[in-house]
Amino acid sequence: MAEKLAPVDVSTLQERVYLRLREALYQGKFSAGETLTIRGLAAALGTSAMPVREALQRLVAEKALVQTPSRSIRVASFTPELFWELIRIRLAIEGMATRRAALNSSPALVESLREINASMIAAIKTGFTEEVLDANKRFHFTIYEAAAMPQLLEIINNLWLRTGPYLGVAYRMGYSDPFLTGTRFHERVVKAIERRDGRKAASNLKVDIWATAKWFTRHRIAIFDENEEKPLEMPR
């Protein structure tokens, strides 16, 4: 009887749980510094503890989560120095991807970006739903995927894992301003991509990232381990 049964493939479930938690981090559904429990996540996802434990360890290895000396797992917190370092890296890396995407521009890409940005604007104006975070991510990654640089895309994915929580803070506190401002920069990015102007497209996307980061520090949104902000100028 036993030989008639194939082994249960738990790796598929582990991968699904891992991807679900990654997506939650991307969209800022967990706050910086928030403690995550295996039991709580397993109950929310409707799984046993094992695939959740495996997923959390992978995310710790990717530095999206940290394990404390007491062995609890929490979302990585920001210091002002770490926050601005990650922002500067995003400016360089995501700017590079946007320049390449503009060179690969097509009518289909431009149309898709316009539709996504329109859905983001609608979500902001009609109830400020979670579609805002989803549309913002889809807009950016539609550009980065169009760059057709798989290694660069992997780097960007890891950066978003680490910076996603700060956008979630603004969303949960009901601040629509940084998102609405972002859609205006998105429109400029799309126009530049339509013209295949890589320099202009990258410049506007970098301003989008920078302006959002500055909004957080200007409004003293609680994402840092310490209340300190060093004045910085956007890199050229």
Contact 169, 32 (CB under 8 A): yes
pLDDT of residue 5: 46
Q: How confident is the model at residue 18 (pLDDT cuts 50, 70, 90)?
A: very high
Query: What DSSP string runs through 214-232?
Result: HHHHHTT-S-BSS------
144 burial type by CB count under 10 A (0-12 exposed, 13-18 middle, 19+ buried) = buried
Task: Kindly tell me if the per-residue pLDDT of 167 is higher than 80.
Answer: no
Higher per-residue confidence, 235 vs 35: 35
d(CA 6, CA 51): 20
Calculate what percentage of the chain has a pLDDT beyond 70. Answer: 87
Kindly report the CATH number that applies to the domain delimited by 80-218. 1.20.120.530
**Domain 10-75 falls under CATH 2.30.30.90:** no
Contact 132, 124 (CB under 8 A): yes
Find all residues with CB under 8 Å of 156, minimum gap 6, and list them.
90, 93, 94, 97, 141, 144
Calculate what percentage of the chain has a pLDDT beyond 90. Answer: 52
Q: Which contiguous run of DSSP H or E holds residue 158?
A: helix 150-172
Q: Per-residue pLDDT averaged across 32-36, rounded?
A: 85
pLDDT of residue 77: 79
pLDDT of residue 100: 98
Q: Which residues pair with 65 in a beta bridge?
A: 75
What ranges do the domains of the chain cover? 10-75, 80-218
